[in-house]
Structure 1
Amino acid sequence: MADKSLPLKIVQVLPALNSGGVERGTVELARELVRGGHKSVVISAGGRMVEGLVAEGSEHIEMPVHRKSLMSLLQVRPMRRLLTELQADIVHVRSRAPAWIVWLAWRGMDSAARPKLVSTFHGMYSVNFYSAVMARAEHMIAISNCVKNYMQSNYGVADQKITLIPRGLDPAAFNREACTPQWRDALFAEYPELKGKHLILMPGRLTRWKGQEAFLDMMARLVRLRQDCHGVVVGDAEPGKQHYYDELIAQRDALGLADKVTFVGHRSDIAAFYALAAVTCHMSNKEEPFGRTVPESLATGTPVVAYDRGGASESLNAGFPQGLVPADDVVAFAVRVDDLIDADAEIKLPENYYLSSQLASTLGVYRRLIAQR
């Protein structure tokens, strides 16, 4: 067996470090690895999260691993040289385009000296040759049971090659204290329409499948039930999709919600919004692999209402099953939000949704693989 006291050198590879659940998960795991005395290296095409990653003790190597193009194959040899130089224990891929580069590079290395190869399925990838590279790793991590079942049904991955590890969150970041009086005063100064209202939070990138349109329909019904609430949409449009934001604003105004729903754009203080909100909403119109917003909000003590499907359903079942409503039932959703605004919510988020558990489980995967060498 591998010595559990020995520090490891872990290389994580993903397309870029701008925003999103995969990116945040990578940065958080890197930070926890450093705190645990391990060496952390992240390879990506760069982005706004690099500065924080490096400040927390990881090394970042910029490399164009993000392009979904045959031109990316030009990066295979440089990646092989880099992995040889780094002499890492583990290389952990988190997305398909970089996974192809890494797998082709790794396959050409000396099998006795190369790092062990791990992949995380962050989603239910389309079933084709391109996606199948994620199943070529020596071991795979699934972020939820619905993802694990998808891997087994569509890629034939054996049960012993999959470890279920939910994305962990940092309790130091997601708690009631995130919403300080100074932060709240600054928010109300910027958005005075929020003061004195029960805030109904809708976090997530502005994209059609996240459900912002359904949220606006739900708010139109909710404000007919009560006038003391205000919707807050946190998130910005994806690059090149500003038109969707314009559509949402037009829908909001057509529903008579111009003074009832505020769009605040991309925010780095989402934990404070969770802690301030009366209810957080999760309304994705298809199965979401995990749904970070559910456990993050629950960790701050704020109840969540979500459709009963996908990874969001799993985490809500684990921590606050009262928040589940039938999928796509906007009427039931509004009624449940109304009920929870004045209720005393009993929230119990299990330990396996926290970073300490994720780190221990992930290190367990790494060490078991190394022991097989």
Structure 2
Amino acid sequence: MKVMQLLPELNSGGVERGTLEIARALVAAGHESLVVSNGGRMVSQLEAEGSTHLTLPIHKKALSSLWQICPLRKLIQQQQPDIVHVRSRVPAWLTHFALKGIPAAKRPHLISTVHGFYSINRYSQIMTQAEKVIAVSDSVVQYITDNYKNCPPEDIVRIYRGIDSAAFPHGYQPSVQWLNQTFKDFPELENKFLICLPGRITRLKGHETLIDLMQQLHHQYPNLHAIVVGGADPKKAAYLQEMQNNIQAKNLADRITFVGHRSDIREWLAFSDVVLSLSSQAETFGRTALEALSVGTPVIGWNRGGVAEILSRLYPQGLITVDDQSALQATVKKHIDTPQQVEPVQAFSLKEMCDQTLAVYQQIVK
């Protein structure tokens, strides 16, 4: 098979990682893998792993993107993929119009993956207009069936995102060199009980909740320290400043450390004593929560969306009622007072995700 995946850019994030993982699985199974995007820092890895990257500016939510319909149609006609797999709304719309200009008999099969709880409107509906619609969790299946009656339930396939347990092995510990460097860079982290909030700096990730939690607990637990792992986009600089002002005002500057964008997320998750998932909106899956549990670090998170699906199967004692601050405090206290064990993770494997996705490709081509 020849499969062409389309997404806006290849910089960082769950959609991008999923694209690379499926590309790798296609190549390993002897198929041809093409990826179309505006490029980004993950392109070199994609190409090193045997895929072809085709650069096209299909990333902007702007009318000017309509100029890319003809170049995209040309690309599809030149490459003649068996399947076009769209992973985001702008590429999905451009593909929709590009395919209209190709005779029906020569069109590739169309698959989409719904990665997000998109706003409910005509613009988002395009993600449910494909021969098969992959949903990344049961929460997403529910969202599609509730809001997009145009999408027949039999066309929806739930395929959980997966992680490579070899990359996040149970009981993993960072190297001595990593620890030495970290204590050199952030001496305030040594001999502390560390709670970690991973995720880029945006209002959705629950940083305010973390600040409030630290304000409530820091007197009772002098060695409690919070780490925020994730970078701030230049557009979020004002929000980051607002947060840091709030931290100063509450005298928590020596209790919360921002370590910025990191490529060593596994180390930070394993280094932490507890990982939090406090997003103010439901996550469609919650890969970071899964990665933390995989290395054996307890996760405490709101009981909603994909994170709740992961926790209810792997670590139910980490589930707390949405926005219940006192339950959050009590659960964190329990973890500080009595260290908890996480069983080795058997579910949500990368191999399952890839096998199931390739099976959908095979089925549709047949």
TM-score normalised over the length of structure 1:
0.93
Alignment of 1:15-164 (within 5 A): 15-156=8-149, 157-164=151-158
**Is the 8 Å Cα contact of residues 205 and 279 (structure 2) preserved in structure 1?**
yes
The alpha-carbon distance between structure 1 residues 96 and 38, as it changes in their structure 2 partners (threshold 3 A), is: same
Q: CA deviation at 1:348?
A: 4.8
Q: CA deviation at 1:197?
A: 1.2
- 1:347 matched to 2:340: no
Report what 2:201 is aligned to. Answer: 206
Report what 2:250 is aligned to. Answer: 255
Q: CA deviation at 1:162?
A: 0.5
The residue identity in structure 2 corresponding to 1:308 is N
Report what 2:354 is aligned to. Answer: 359
Report what 1:238 is aligned to. Answer: 233
Moved more, 119-128 or 171-180: 171-180
Q: Give 3-state SS (helix, strand or coil) of 2:301's partner.
A: strand
Q: CA deviation at 1:32?
A: 2.7
Report what 1:4 is aligned to. Answer: none
The residue identity in structure 2 corresponding to 1:145 is D
Q: Give 3-state SS (helix, strand or coil) of 1:137's partner.
A: coil
Q: CA deviation at 1:272?
A: 0.8
Moved more, 171-180 or 124-133: 171-180
**Cα distance in 1 for residues equivalent to 2:28 and 2:127:** 28
Report what 1:165 is aligned to. Answer: 159
Number of residue pairs the alignment of both structures matches: 363
Q: CA deviation at 1:344?
A: 3.1
Q: CA deviation at 1:343?
A: 2.4
Q: CA deviation at 1:273?
A: 0.6
**Is the 8 Å Cα contact of residues 207 and 244 (structure 1) preserved in structure 2?**
yes
Q: Give 3-state SS (helix, strand or coil) of 1:41's partner.
A: strand
**Cα distance in 1 for residues equivalent to 2:26 and 2:174:** 28
**Is the 8 Å Cα contact of residues 221 and 331 (structure 1) preserved in structure 2?**
no
Moved more, 340-349 or 327-336: 340-349
The alpha-carbon distance between structure 1 residues 78 and 178, as it changes in their structure 2 partners (threshold 3 A), is: farther
CA deviation string 1:89-129 (max 9, x = no partner): 21110100011111111232233332211101111111111
**Cα distance in 1 for residues equivalent to 2:342 and 2:61:** 45
Q: Give 3-state SS (helix, strand or coil) of 2:172's partner.
A: helix
Q: CA deviation at 1:301?
A: 0.8
CA deviation string 1:297-344 (max 9, x = no partner): 111111100011111111111111110111112222122122124323
Q: CA deviation at 1:64?
A: 0.5
**Cα distance in 2 for residues equivalent to 1:345 and 1:106:** 52
**Cα distance in 2 for residues equivalent to 1:260 and 1:35:** 46
**Cα distance in 1 for residues equivalent to 2:315 and 2:53:** 38
Report what 1:5 is aligned to. Answer: none
**Is the 8 Å Cα contact of residues 178 and 271 (structure 1) preserved in structure 2?**
no
The residue identity in structure 2 corresponding to 1:173 is A
Report what 1:284 is aligned to. Answer: 279
Q: Structure 1: which 5+ residue stretches go unaligned?
A: 1-7
Q: CA RMSD in A?
A: 1.5
Q: Structure 2: which 5+ residue stretches go unaligned?
A: none
- 1:268 matched to 2:263: yes
Moved more, 172-181 or 326-335: 172-181
**Is the 8 Å Cα contact of residues 297 and 342 (structure 2) preserved in structure 1?**
no
How high is the sequence identity, in percent, across the aligned residues? 45
**Cα distance in 2 for residues equivalent to 1:177 and 1:39:** 35
The alpha-carbon distance between structure 1 residues 298 and 83, as it changes in their structure 2 partners (threshold 3 A), is: same
Moved more, 130-139 or 173-182: 173-182
Moved more, 12-21 or 27-36: 27-36
TM-score normalised over the length of structure 2:
0.95
The residue identity in structure 2 corresponding to 1:76 is I
Q: CA deviation at 1:276?
A: 1.0
- 1:218 matched to 2:213: yes
**Is the 8 Å Cα contact of residues 21 and 354 (structure 2) preserved in structure 1?**
no
Q: Give 3-state SS (helix, strand or coil) of 2:358's partner.
A: helix
Aligned partner of 1:298 among 264, 288, 293: 293
**Is the 8 Å Cα contact of residues 230 and 262 (structure 2) preserved in structure 1?**
yes
Report what 1:3 is aligned to. Answer: none
**Cα distance in 1 for residues equivalent to 2:44 and 2:236:** 26
